[in-house]
Amino acid sequence: MESVPLKLPANLNLNTGTRKAAGDLVNDLVSPHRKGLLLAMALNLVVGISVTFQNLLPKFIMDDALLKEGLDLEQRRQRLFLFALLYVFVGIVLRAGVWHGSLRIFGRIRERCVSRLRSRFFNHVNRLCISFHNRHNSGELFSYLFGSPLTHVQQYYSLLALMLPHEVVSLTLTLVFLGSWDLLLTGVILISICVHFLVQIRARLLIREIQHDFQKTEAKVSGKVADMLRGHRAMKLYAVEESADRDFGRELDIIHDKSYWREIRSHLQQIKQESVLYIGYASLSILAGWRFLGGHITEGQLTAYLTSYIALQGPLRTFFQLALLRGSSQASLERMAALLTTESSTPDPETGVADVPLRGEIVFDHVTFGYGEEPVLSDVSLTIPFGQKVALVGPSGAGKSTIAQLILRLYDPQQGRILFNGIDIRSFSGSALRRRFGVVPQDPYMFNCSIRDNLTLVDPDADDAKLREVCEQANAWEFIEDLPQGLDTMLGEGGCTVSGGQRQRLAIARALLMEPSFFVFDEATSALDTLSEERIRDAMSRVTEGRTALFIAHRLASVENCDRILVLENGRITQDGSYAELAAAPGMFRDLLRTQNVR
């Protein structure tokens, strides 16, 4: 498929690695909201000043109210009451109120950034090539949109913007005031903080590795579990529920072990942090008592040192949480950035995008293609004039569906070229090219919504009259009008509420709604009963009049009326002719025909 027109920063260099790509991604998301973020952080500075006042207030209560010389009891009560009122005002108005205002600003910015990131991620992944989706399961990709990776990013940046500014201010101002009273005691606190940061740096590196490992496992397990849920019908048909339960149990055990050890190893890092704090508090208590007994500090200052040290654990805990989350957040961002900077194997041309003609011949010019090292098609050359009905037949793995996928530009040939009305299809936008084709696969996917929504997926403006017209052409209206809710009938997951033949007819109607000039029918009748097959074949015959149609089939009776039949063997076209011509000539087609007639 085509590449995505993402608005990533112009200076994004994919060769500098995913870490820089992650940084550029964050900068691109945040840059439109810089003013709002600065305002939220400025309000947080006010919160930091308020926290500092509350941390140091015990000193002033002790020295300037309770123990102040020259004051009578009433004066002490008045000052104590004043300090209490001031504490409440600062706590409610300047701390809680201002912080709430900051939260409202940042919360709006955060949700906008998350929505933009989700939208960008979905749009990019939705437009990447089939090869990409073959390498990444849907469970893994879903986890990036609504799972733990994005949650870790949100938590980290919420702490960074909402907590860090006022924690830094309160820590700094508190240390300045404490330092003005006694440098020795303040030095003990600073040493404790420095040791804390050293331990924290080491912890962050370890936690980042832990999170990388856990997220890889989580994505893998999520994909497997999602696959089990999608395949519930097959599990019931083959009566393998118990086996699925055991498989799910094994996946749970894997996540259980990974999650348990992630928590244990992370907590060990937290214990190291707390040990530094406990040792620091014990040292401070001894030294503060010694300085007080020596007359170097007052009772209020002694109280302020001990209460401030406890209060400063709040900022230190925030720093530690940031260190913990930074590892998982960085890991998540790097993985998302790696996917967002993944290039399609079928990119749209950057300049000179050609308009896709409404009609024209299709030419394969010495095309070679393989999904791996071995080629599936080898030096294939063919021309399909406009309006011709062409069937591709041959044994499984011969390259029939590959030809259709190359025409649709789901893949690009590794050698040679494919021309559409004389123009290399690499010159077209992939989606614009595919809009010229109505595709009906063997097992068409129906979304868990109404018939109307499934049809209007390709044309949101189609009215009921148009929907009825295409459904009648596809022989689908006969069963739709019998449904109690008609076009508003819900189809269930994968279209489970209608039969296989009905899904095929709805797929043809959906393709017709695109008003295509070309049709591709990939084994459209292979899994149907005789009556359903007749109805589908009748619909296909009607809708392909005046259009180019490509039929991929194993049942040779279904391609008897085609203008031309191509027989593929081992990635090469070995026969080319009408049904009658090939049936009369020795070769693969006649061998297949005899085999099916015997059956």
Over residues 406-431, the pLDDT tens digits come to: 999 989 999 999 999 999 999 988 88
**Cα 390 from chain centre:** 40
What pLDDT score does 366 carry? Answer: 94
Q: What pLDDT band is residue 352 in, cutting at 50, 70 and 90?
A: low
532 vs 382, higher pLDDT: 382
Rounded to whole angstroms, the Cα distance separating 165 from 366 reads: 64
Q: Secondary structure of 37-69 in the HEC alphabet?
A: HHHHHHHHHHHHHHHHHHHHHHHHHHHHHHCCC
- Could you give the angle at the alpha carbon of 582 between the alpha carbons of 578 and 586, nearest 5°? 165
Which tokens go with 222? 């999520």
DSSP state of 357: P
Q: What are phi and psi of 231, to 5 degrees?
A: -95, 25
| Euclidean distance between the first and the last CA atom of the chain, given in angstroms as a whole number | 40
Q: What pLDDT band is residue 236 in, cutting at 50, 70 and 90?
A: low
Query: Hey, where are the domains in the chain?
Result: 14-340, 362-598
Task: Sort 85 into a burial class: Cβ within 10 Å, 0-12 / 13-18 / 19+.
Answer: exposed
Q: What pLDDT band is residue 10 in, cutting at 50, 70 and 90?
A: very low
Closest CA to 433 of 470, 458, 408: 408
- The total number of residues shown for the chain amounts to 599
Say whether pLDDT at 382 is over 90. Answer: yes
CATH superfamily, region 362-598: P-loop containing nucleotide triphosphate hydrolases (3.40.50.300)
Say whether pLDDT at 229 is over 80. Answer: no
Kindly report, residue by residue over 432-450, the tens digit of the pLDDT.
898 889 888 888 888 888 8
Q: What pLDDT band is residue 232 in, cutting at 50, 70 and 90?
A: low
| CATH 3.90.180.10 for domain 14-340 | no
What pLDDT score does 238 carry? Answer: 61
Say whether pLDDT at 555 is over 60. Answer: yes
Contact between 266 and 210 (Cβ < 8 Å): yes
Give me the chain's average pLDDT, please: 83
pLDDT (average), residues 180-193:
87
Rounded to whole angstroms, the Cα distance separating 225 from 209 reads: 25
* Residue 578 identity (one-letter amino acid): S
What pLDDT score does 5 carry? Answer: 36
- Show Cβ contacts of residue 259 under 8 Å, excluding neighbours closer than 6 positions: 214
What pLDDT score does 14 carry? Answer: 39
Taking the alpha carbons of 551, 555, 556, 558 in that order, is the dihedral positive or negative? negative
Kindly report, residue by residue over 311-349, the tens digit of the pLDDT.
887 787 788 778 778 877 888 888 888 888 888 888 888
Closest CA to 553 of 418, 389, 364, 431: 389
What pLDDT score does 558 carry? Answer: 80
Q: Secondary structure of 383-436 in the HEC alphabet?
A: EECCCCEEEEECCCCCCHHHHHHHHCCCCCCCEEEEEECCEEHHHCCHHHHHCC
Work out whether strand 415-420 and strand 423-424 pair parallel, antiparallel, or are unpaired: antiparallel
Dihedral of the CA atoms 365, 368, 371, 372 (nearest 10)? -160
> Which helix (H) or strand (E) element contains residue 77?
helix 73-89
What pLDDT score does 290 carry? Answer: 92
Kindly report, residue by residue over 254-273, the tens digit of the pLDDT.
888 888 888 888 788 778 77
Please report where in the chains the tokens 């006694």 appear, as a residue. Answer: 182
Work out whether strand 564-569 and strand 415-420 pair parallel, antiparallel, or are unpaired: unpaired
Contact between 277 and 316 (Cβ < 8 Å): yes
What pLDDT score does 309 carry? Answer: 84
Closest CA to 555 of 545, 540, 572: 540
Please report where in the chains the tokens 């998350």 appear, as a residue. Answer: 114
Work out the percent of the chain whose per-residue pLDDT is above 90.
Answer: 17
pLDDT (average), residues 221-236:
71
What pLDDT score does 7 carry? Answer: 42
Contact between 210 and 262 (Cβ < 8 Å): yes
**DSSP one-letter string for 243-304:** HHHHHHHHHHHHHHHHHHHHHHHHHHHHHHHHHHHHHHHHHHHHHHHHHHHTTSS-HHHHHH
